[in-house]
Amino acid sequence: MGYKVEVGISNKHLHLSEAHLAALFGAGHKLTVKKELKQPDQFAAEEVVDIVGPKGTLKGIRVLGPCRKESQVELAQTDARGIGLSLPVRESGVLDGSPGVKLVGPAGEVTLDKGAIIALRHIHLSPAQAQEAGVKDKDWVTVKASGSRPLIFEKVLIRSGDTHLRECHVDTDEGNAAGLKNDDTVEIIGKSE
Amino acid sequence: MGYKVEVGISNKHLHLSEAHLAALFGAGHKLTVKKELKQPDQFAAEEVVDIVGPKGTLKGIRVLGPCRKESQVELAQTDARGIGLSLPVRESGVLDGSPGVKLVGPAGEVTLDKGAIIALRHIHLSPAQAQEAGVKDKDWVTVKASGSRPLIFEKVLIRSGDTHLRECHVDTDEGNAAGLKNDDTVEIIGKSE
């Protein structure tokens, strides 16, 4: 072990289904690429929406593209609490039983019946990188962050496949708790039960 | 080792000097106790102020009492970034070189020239509790949090003396990153270099 991985700190963001994109931005609207992300084909879009919770609104939250089968809102717990939500920690795409929120775009509103989550921390690896690290898809690993607030994350999920490239995704609460910034390096130091 | 400690999650708050209390709330104003805290003689006050940073304002932030020699604003990095500040992680009372902020109260404003920090995570212990745990004041320890987002905090500062009682203080970023809530239990599992 001792395999080094660059960090990407995920700020609050959302993914939209084609239907919700149309409802929020107008029929036929296509997302505009603002910035390519490290994961293949993923991008931050120019489009932003407001996220409305029971006790407040997060304004101008960025949409990531391309569109997905289901809309998904990813907040850190700090963000969620600020608008009156307590969210479950979930792997991306595992949305059953998660709370909904209202989304407000320039052309309309959508009230999700589920899809607001705190993203489970995870590491993307290509198949070759996973082999090099001695891990495989769906493994749980322990990750050491040696920044200004050193800590060891247990239970970090490995996601490996052809559409993944090496990157450790944590949310802003986790990044701040560890004193990490984007492109800092963390280290896989072992398997996690 | 393996010494158990209850968690207290510190939300953003501030401490005021007598002079700043007078400037913000009026000459002769005394803090009103809203809730006693676990540490002896410390309390959350009824009084709140607005904290103004370069890019925004945190409204209604609670004052903790009693007054101190120097005013001190304690934010999590998420809070700080939200108002355009990047703050150093500091032990309480070690304020030289930390940024100032503007405070707005019902009777006036104060612009601090220093005092805004992210509190260094720490454990309060009475002398007897420190002896029981096998640690002493100013030791650094490693602390295991076995909640829904398990992690190990390295470099947690021990603060022990007659005015301390057992409690592990982390900020909201750290508490959220570990999936902790108030009164959850963490464990000192060793010394930290």
pLDDT at A1: 56
**How many CB pairs below 8 A link A and B?**
58
pLDDT of residue B47 exceeding 60: yes
Q: Which of A79, A153, A176 is opposite residue B151, by nearest beta carbon? A: A153
Mean pLDDT of the region A61-75 = 98
Compute the mean pLDDT over every residue in chain B, rounded to the nearest whole number: 97
d(CA A153, CA A159): 16
Q: What percent of chain A has pLDDT over 70?
A: 99
Sequential DSSP letters for B146-177: -SSS-EEEEEEEEEESTT--SEEEEEHHHHHH
Instruction: Check whether A147 has a pLDDT greater than 90.
Output: no
What's the pLDDT score for residue B128? 98
pLDDT over 80 (residue A193): no
Instruction: Give the mean model confidence (pLDDT) for residues B45-64.
Output: 97
Residues of B in contact with A174 (CB under 8 A): 149, 177
Residues of B in contact with A176 (CB under 8 A): 76-78, 173, 177
* pLDDT value, residue A79: 96
Indicate if the pLDDT at residue A65 is higher than 60. Answer: yes
Whether residue B193 is predicted with pLDDT greater than 90 in this model: the reply is no
Which token pair is A126?
């290509």
Q: Read off the pLDDT band of A120 (50, 70, 90).
A: very high
For the cut 90, the answer to whether the pLDDT of residue B91 exceeds it is: yes
Predicted confidence at residue B99, as pLDDT, reads: 97
The rounded distance, in Å, linking the Cα atoms of B97 and B37 is 29
**Record: contact A177-B179, CB cut-off 8 A:** no
| B87 touches B119 (CB < 8 A) | no
Q: What is the pLDDT at residue B1?
A: 56
Which of B176, B180, B182 is most worth mutating to test chain A (most A CB atoms within 10 A of its CB)?
B176
The yes-or-no verdict on residue A167 having pLDDT over 90 is yes
For residue range B144-160, list pLDDT tens digits in order: 999 889 999 999 999 99
Tell me the three state secondary structure of residue B83: coil
| pLDDT of amino acid A36 | 97
State the distance between the two ends of chain A, measured CA to CA, in whole angstroms.
Answer: 15
Q: What was the pLDDT predicted at B3?
A: 98
pLDDT, tens digit (0-9, with 9 covering 90-100), for A1-21 = 599 999 999 999 999 999 999
> What backbone phi and psi angles, to 5 degrees, belong to A82?
-60, -25
Determine phi and psi for A178, rounding to 5 degrees.
-95, -5
When the pLDDT of each residue in chain A is averaged and rounded to a whole number, the result is 97
Number of H helices, E strands in chain B: 4, 15
Residue B48: what pLDDT?
98
* A53-64 per-position pLDDT tens digit: 999 999 999 999
| Nearest by CB: B89 against A78, A155, A179 | A179
Q: Rounding to the nearest 10 degrees, give the CA dihedral for residues B172, B33, B92, B96.
A: 110
Task: Please give the pLDDT value at position B42.
Answer: 97
pLDDT at A131 over 90: yes
Write down the pLDDT at residue A175: 98
Residues ≥6 apart with Cβ < 8 Å to B70:
B17, B93, B95, B115
Local confidence band at B96 (pLDDT 50, 70, 90 cut-offs)? very high
What does the pLDDT average to over A85-112?
97
